[in-house]
Structures are given as structure tokens and as C-alpha cells.
Copies of this chain bind each other. A is one copy, B any other.
Amino acid sequence: MATPRFPDDQVLPTGGRIVLIVLDGLGGLPDPESGKTELEAAVTPNLDALAARASLGVHTPVAPGITPGSGPAHLSIFGYDPSTHVVGRGALSALGVGMELEPGDVAARLNLATFDADGNVVDRRAGRPSDDEARRVVATLRGELRPPEGIEIDLEVEKEHRVVLRLRGRGLEAAVTDTDPLVEGAPDLECTAIEPGSGKTAEVVGDFLVQAREILADEPVMNGFLARGFASWSDIPGYRDRFGLRASAIARYPMYRGVAKLVGMEVPDVPANSAATIDVLEGCFDAFDFHFLHFKDPDTRGHDGDFAGKVRAIEEVDALIPRVTALEPEVLVVTGDHSTPTRMREHSWHPVPTLIASELARPTADRFGESACRGGDLGFLRGTDLIGHALAHAGRLVKFGA
């Protein structure tokens, strides 16, 4: 779980202010009639004016062809490569369902599974139950579980058979083995400690899995769990240490606040409307070097399959831009965490339009959209590369070598 640091003599303690505006699910696919994506169809005079003084590009959040969840996608644009295990899968899943994680917590991914009378796994995914079916079982468990003294156990359904487990209490570490045998017809594996400090976790997990089998004994299909991807997150170097940035995350939804906290951003409270995001920014602008602003609606309308609605959601953010530029941040980055084409009603792998507006940009177009960004000076970049560009434009990196 080692995260490469920017060498400490390469990041300066001072420099320009950076604002990162994320329109969730920004990227799209062209409407078959007009040939324009949602962003290209939107009337965005303010974003277009930014593009005219920005370096443009498109970013791939995780890897070519990979559709990211919002957790990994945000980690990536924050500068942390989610594919190199910066954050364990269990912790990502916890953040994904809006479970808060604190240093010392251990999270894991559970599969609801079907066991036969001999204790062999006959279906590793318990027939892929609906989310509601899974929630019913998890609710039963929550009511009847008796955690060991001093330990809190929390469960949330992620999707279908996938459930997130969070353990909280003293002395828990995450170096324990998975119980998923990865094949059917065999019993589950024992959860054992790989490192001495994780013995208590192995014990708590073992006890939890036995209790779950007992409580669910009368369930015909969802009668037990397989556990994997144990993770904690106390060892990730945060924004202050890694990039020299005092960072705030102005975001309303728990998952984005959680990922931001994970990398050491402060998370002020945000009332429930988009304009309030800017009110909060104005209130704390001078207190931070870096502000992350999150706008959820473009993604939500994308999931709804509502092209016109996503266009409107983008235009609503555009209307707020002048209040941001009035604060005169030296660097203003606008991008999405991933694409959510309305035609797909889901996240996708398509590259995400990106602009970095600063005095040191190399502008190539006066329009913000997929087509304009594709020909820009940032080229095709990985999500994790964004932060390096932003720091450079803010004058926050020293030269590499003389």
C-alpha cells in the first residue's frame, strides 16, 4: 500500500491557489441526431471562456477501458492511483456505500453466499439476490449480532450479493486472509492473521462469520458470507504531506466527503443546493491552498438517461463559474471523475474532458467539450497526472535536477 510521494524537496510550501471543480459523470456520448455530447450540447459561456485561457485534454480515470466507481475515480483525480492498492478494496467499498472510515477501522467486502449442510460453498454469490433481498437479510443480522466486547460491527449492502463490513474498536489491523475459496464445492477458508498485530481482527471476523451462519441458518439461499479485501486506511499520506496543500472538500454526499477525508482534506458542512457550494467556497477561500468542489447532478441525470436533464445540470454549474473566477484562483481545473453517458445510464470508461485555466496555459480552443479537449495541450492523460499539472501551474513544484 505504499504511495509514491512527490519527493519532499520537490513540493514547495507556497504557491498559487488551486480550485478543482468536478462535475460528476461529466463525459458523455454524442446524441445520434446532433452528434453532440451532453457537454457539447450545453450552452456554457463561462466554461468556454475558461477553455480559451486553459490547457485542454482528456483524462482516463483508472486505465484504458476501465469503468470506475466514483470512489476510485475521485482518488485518481486527487492523485492517488487506485489500481496500485493505495486503498484496499474493502475501504473503497465502504466509502462507496457512504460508510465513514476512521483511522484504525478495518473494512472488508463480503459476498452473501449459499452453504450446504456440510459447510461447502455451493453458490459464491447466493443466486445474485436483489438489493432489497440482501438488505432484508442484513437488517436481520444487524438486529441479532452480538459483537465481542469493545467492537462495533457495521454492515451495508453495496449491490446484490455484495455487502460491506466495517469493524471498529481498539487493536484492529487489516493484515488477515480472505475466506473466499474462489471455487464452489469447497468449504470457506479460515480468516488468519498474516502479521502479529492482526490476530484480534482474525478472531473477530471468525466469530462474526460463525454468528452470521447461525442467525441465517433458516435462509434457503443467503445463509452465510465469504469475506475478502480487508483494508484499513491509516497509512495514506494526505494532501498536506504529499503535495504541501491545505485542502478543503466542498461536497455534499457522504462518499465524496469520505474519499476527501481519506486524503486529508477538510470537509466543511454544505447545505443542500449547488449555489451553497459556492457560498462555502467564498467563506473559506483564503484559509486553504486547494479547494475541491463537487457537483453531483450531471451524473444523476446521466443515470436517469435524461440527456436534456444532464445538459441543464451542466448549464447550472456553468452559471456558478463567475463566482469562482471572481475569487481569482491562480489555477482552476474543471473536469469530471468519469463519464456517465445518458445513452448508457451508467458510468463508462470514455475519456473525460478537462481544462486547466492559468496564466501559464497553452490554449487551443474557445469551447469546453470532448472534441475541443481531445486536441489540447494536455493530450490524453491519466487521472492521476492531473495533480502534477495543477501543482506546476500553481508554481508549487521545484525543478527536477539542476
A residues touching B (Cβ–Cβ < 8 Å)?
8, 10, 29-30, 37, 58, 62-73, 82-83, 89, 92-93, 95-97, 158-159, 182, 341, 343-344, 346-351, 360, 362-364, 370-371, 374-377, 379-381, 385, 387-393, 397-402
A348 and B398 CA atoms in complex are apart in Å by 10
CB-nearest residue of chain B relative to A98? B402
Q: B388, A66: Cβ atoms under 8 Å?
A: yes
CB-nearest residue of chain B relative to A385? B64
A159 and B96 CA atoms in complex are apart in Å by 46
Contact partner, A380, options B72, B159, B350, B379, Cβ 8 Å: B379
A to B CB contacts below 8 Å, 23 in the list:
A10-B66, A29-B360, A29-B362, A30-B362, A58-B379, A64-B381, A65-B388, A65-B390, A67-B400, A68-B399, A70-B402, A72-B400, A73-B401, A93-B401, A93-B402, A96-B402, A341-B360, A343-B360, A344-B360, A346-B399, A364-B371, A374-B375, A379-B380
CB-nearest residue of chain B relative to A71? B401
Q: B374, A374: Cβ atoms under 8 Å?
A: no
- Nearest Cβ in chain B — how far from A324, in angstroms? 22
Residues in B neighbouring A379, C-beta threshold 8 A: 58, 351, 374, 379-380
- Nearest Cβ in chain B — how far from A174, in angstroms? 17
Residues in B neighbouring A73, C-beta threshold 8 A: 401
Contact partner, A392, options B66, B389, B391, Cβ 8 Å: B66
A47 and B392 CA atoms in complex are apart in Å by 30
Residues in B neighbouring A376, C-beta threshold 8 A: 374
A359 and B116 CA atoms in complex are apart in Å by 43
- Nearest Cβ in chain B — how far from A30, in angstroms? 6
- Nearest Cβ in chain B — how far from A328, in angstroms? 18
Q: Given A82-B401, A349-B397, A374-B376, 19 other A-B contacts at CB below 8 A?
A: A10-B66, A29-B360, A30-B363, A65-B391, A65-B393, A66-B400, A67-B392, A67-B400, A83-B400, A89-B401, A92-B401, A92-B402, A93-B401, A93-B402, A349-B392, A350-B362, A351-B377, A351-B379, A380-B380
A95 and B89 CA atoms in complex are apart in Å by 39
A401 and B392 CA atoms in complex are apart in Å by 30
Residues in B neighbouring A387, C-beta threshold 8 A: 65
Residues in B neighbouring A159, C-beta threshold 8 A: 402
Q: A397, B92: Cβ atoms under 8 Å?
A: no
> A349-B392, A380-B379 are contacts. A397–B66 as well, Cβ < 8 Å?
yes
> A29-B360, A158-B402 are contacts. A67–B349 as well, Cβ < 8 Å?
no
Residues in B neighbouring A97, C-beta threshold 8 A: 402
Q: A401, B58: Cβ atoms under 8 Å?
A: no
Q: A377, B397: Cβ atoms under 8 Å?
A: no
> A71-B401, A350-B377 are contacts. A389–B65 as well, Cβ < 8 Å?
yes
Residues in B neighbouring A347, C-beta threshold 8 A: 399
Q: A65, B351: Cβ atoms under 8 Å?
A: no
A68 and B380 CA atoms in complex are apart in Å by 21
Q: B392, A65: Cβ atoms under 8 Å?
A: yes
A71 and B399 CA atoms in complex are apart in Å by 11
> A30-B363, A363-B30, A377-B351 are contacts. A401–B371 as well, Cβ < 8 Å?
no
Residues in B neighbouring A343, C-beta threshold 8 A: 360
Contact partner, A82, options B349, B377, B400, Cβ 8 Å: B400
- Nearest Cβ in chain B — how far from A378, in angstroms? 8
CB-nearest residue of chain B relative to A89? B401
